[in-house]
Structure 1
């Protein structure tokens, strides 16, 4: 075993086979930092590490005979967590392949490919994919069929190449994979490549790959069409996107919510709002569920071009048809309506949502209450607040106190006090400001008993800093009463 280990660091292997770009191994007396390549950014190699240390580490943790199982265990559980030797995993992987009695299996290949891809060591990744795997295949490939894990291994690598924009490398890996596997490549691999080209603005190459997919008699799926439709829309080729949508249906591939969302967004970009809305209704007719993203595209898109009324009609119709998705936040629409002084229409939207048990969000309700307060529609604001509280939707204390202040100014302190009790039962605790507003309201209305009751409660809750504050509130109540008698 020691003899085999020394081969890893002996002068006879000055250039590891198939890995000339990665460095030269030096004699045993040479420090490790000089013997191996410069550490990669993702890992660090301590300068004090020497080749004898590596040899000792290997001798301790990798006992003969070396098998794919023992090597994988060593790489995953020993070397991978060692701060000094982690960067040397690929060199050990290459060294093991020189042992006559040893062959890498697909588990080793898969772990090595994933490790190199995740750590962005693409030079080494090319060696594994384009040299090691074709020349020294997994033992599973000794029969009439290829190893069943080949495509999965290459698919991960191809996705990693596409992730960093190395599309030429991805194509070379794809062609190599096609030679190694039995039959046709999966549509998943084509989709990864097509998406990579579209993402990098090379729509023409993505379309060429789609043609290649068709010529290879691989059936495209919804993801294939969605990627290409999105590419057409990003390139402002909306006619081609619609034509591909028709081709998609002609090939028997059912569009999904992503397909429709992409097309609707494309129509809106092309200022074809009626066509975009019609596409949404076609989506409903085909039984495809509308998502929150669909509603956001439609509603926000219409609001941005000052078609707020059209957006309201659309949303209310969705509510009545029962297709409005749970969790859709209508706050942007409500805010736009309030800014346009159309709080009545905003209230209509919220009421329709509540009728169909599609309770609007806290933000939407708060925005509407602020709008109603702004236009002095206090009674409707209080009714909405009561409905919110019964549904467990709690206002923030600032908005709630401002609403109570408006109610007290209109002589409706008792209703405000009732809201305070309801809010407390739902978890919105009244603060000192809440009580002061209500006491002031009762004082202005001359309701001494009600005011005194609140002052006593403030005292019990320790909202009054001293007895002087208590006396001042009580004096205000009684002075108001005396003023009323004198009149």
Structure 2
């Protein structure tokens, strides 16, 4: 919901400077008369236009002149800000206070008002408050030094402008800040501005700001260099990104994991796989540990390029060096190996990583189980799922039932039932499909007694709707036993 901006109620509110003032709506301009062409979003969707008299009464109750900046701040934060009717008047009351001869805003009131306007995206109003702060600075600035809160306030403003893509206003605020503060701007503010231009795809402007930063003798930090490396990579200037990385090292700034991740991603984008892998090993040599993003960029990137065996070898080597973070999910490597028919290699990799305490995710495990089942390696799939369940890694019901079906088809219903019992203990309850698979398996194997036990469980859990269905399943067990006896007779058993 939006409302038209209210006119500044200076005339009406000035009369509150004397506690004895008696004000009526007829004696003052209409507070809620809207202008014709300016609308702003307000911080609450439940606001309604309020009468002038109600606002005046609210002010008389909680903010009687004379008051201090501390009094005004408490009123704005604790009374006005949470009031559903009057919160829309925060700026007007702030400006009204500015007109009182005995009152002067300090950095606390300026900061609260500026942050409130920025957070609610009232940037046109924010500009007017900034101008007021410049022309009427905080009392802390009356001495030879500027107010220590000036730079943090402007940093918040500049960051808000950059976040909203209002870069011209961000630069304007930056220039004004330079005139007000003592000394040079901090590297943090330069980083905010440079990153703002990078995000807006204004690469040249970002480089200009970096040059200005060096001219001002502000020492860049790792964040500065990371922003420039990323910007060069985005603009297909990978060689320049490498130059920035070298400059970073020359200036004595140690790269961090973000620096390396950005360059590795750039190498892979340029199809320079050998250089990307070398960069990863350089990370380890410098004592910069991998993040999960590092592994995703390098290993998943290699898999996307069809170099899945290379990714598998790297993953094992990184694991042996203790470099693989616990949160990295090697699903893509497993999936790539299975697609290429290298399920044995995938299983070896999982076994080695598992022995190092790097547990695969449930999805990674089930992907490998499906690959093993598709390759006819039922024993390996059974062993892996049993291991999963013992480690509290619960598969999805579809993969689980499919493996049970494969075991039953292979004449290993007892193993399938063993998995059913283990899965039940781990929270994966059997459904109707599970029981039907197992009953059918016992039926084919002629094991009526075990099948009847499952039928009783099905009946208790409501999976058999009526007696006819129960008898049909029981008859299936009997027929299955006769079929097995007949087969043994034919074979001379």
Structure 2 residue aligned with 1:117: 118
Structure 1 residue aligned with 2:133: 133
SS at match of 2:366: helix
Question: 1:205 and 1:441 mapped to 2: Cα distance?
Answer: 71
Structure 2 residue aligned with 1:454: 454
Question: 1:132 and 1:121 mapped to 2: Cα distance?
Answer: 16
Question: 1:209 and 1:163 mapped to 2: Cα distance?
Answer: 17
Q: Give TM-score scaled by structure 1 length.
A: 0.90
Question: 1:426 and 1:31 mapped to 2: Cα distance?
Answer: 67
Structure 2 residue aligned with 1:78: 79
Structure 1 residue aligned with 2:295: 295
SS at match of 1:120: coil
Deviation of 1:194 (Å): 0.8
After superposition, what is the alpha-carbon deviation per residue over 1:146-198, rounded to whole angstroms, capped at 9, x for unaligned? Answer: 21111110000001111122212111211211221122221111110110111
Matched, 1:317 2:317: yes
Task: Check conservation: 1:39, 1:45, Cα contact below 8 A.
Answer: no
SS at match of 1:81: coil
Q: Which moved more, 1:462-471 or 1:301-310?
A: 462-471
Q: How does 1:316-465 map to 2 (within 5 A)?
A: 316-465=316-465
1:407–1:366 distance in 2 versus 1, CA, 3 Å: same
Question: 1:281 and 1:11 mapped to 2: Cα distance?
Answer: 68
Question: 1:262 and 1:311 mapped to 2: Cα distance?
Answer: 18
SS at match of 2:442: helix
Structure 1 residue aligned with 2:11: 9
Task: Check conservation: 2:222, 2:256, Cα contact below 8 A.
Answer: yes
Deviation of 1:238 (Å): 0.7
SS at match of 1:40: strand
Question: 2:207 and 2:441 mapped to 1: Cα distance?
Answer: 72
Task: Check conservation: 1:350, 1:360, Cα contact below 8 A.
Answer: yes
Question: 2:51 and 2:37 mapped to 1: Cα distance?
Answer: 13
1:355–1:12 distance in 2 versus 1, CA, 3 Å: closer
SS at match of 2:40: coil
Structure 2 residue aligned with 1:99: 100
Deviation of 1:466 (Å): 2.7
Q: Which moved more, 1:468-477 or 1:140-149?
A: 468-477
1:451–1:53 distance in 2 versus 1, CA, 3 Å: closer
Deviation of 1:141 (Å): 1.8
Structure 2 residue aligned with 1:22: none
Question: 1:384 and 1:126 mapped to 2: Cα distance?
Answer: 64
Deviation of 1:245 (Å): 0.7
Q: Which moved more, 1:343-352 or 1:160-169?
A: 343-352
Structure 2 residue aligned with 1:30: 30
Q: What is the CA RMSD across the aligned residues, in angstroms?
A: 2.4
Runs of at least 5 residues in structure 2 that lack an aligned partner in the other structure: 1-7, 16-25
Structure 2 residue aligned with 1:21: none
Structure 2 residue aligned with 1:17: none
Number of residue pairs aligned between Structure 1 and Structure 2: 469
1:421–1:144 distance in 2 versus 1, CA, 3 Å: same
Question: 2:105 and 2:377 mapped to 1: Cα distance?
Answer: 77
1:255–1:7 distance in 2 versus 1, CA, 3 Å: closer
After superposition, what is the alpha-carbon deviation per residue over 1:21-46, rounded to whole angstroms, capped at 9, x for unaligned? Answer: xxxxx971435224798441235797
Question: 1:104 and 1:201 mapped to 2: Cα distance?
Answer: 39
Q: Which moved more, 1:170-179 or 1:256-265?
A: 170-179
Deviation of 1:442 (Å): 1.7
Runs of at least 5 residues in structure 1 that lack an aligned partner in the other structure: 1-5, 14-25
Q: Give TM-score scaled by structure 2 length.
A: 0.89
Task: Check conservation: 1:292, 1:325, Cα contact below 8 A.
Answer: yes
Structure 2 residue aligned with 1:189: 189
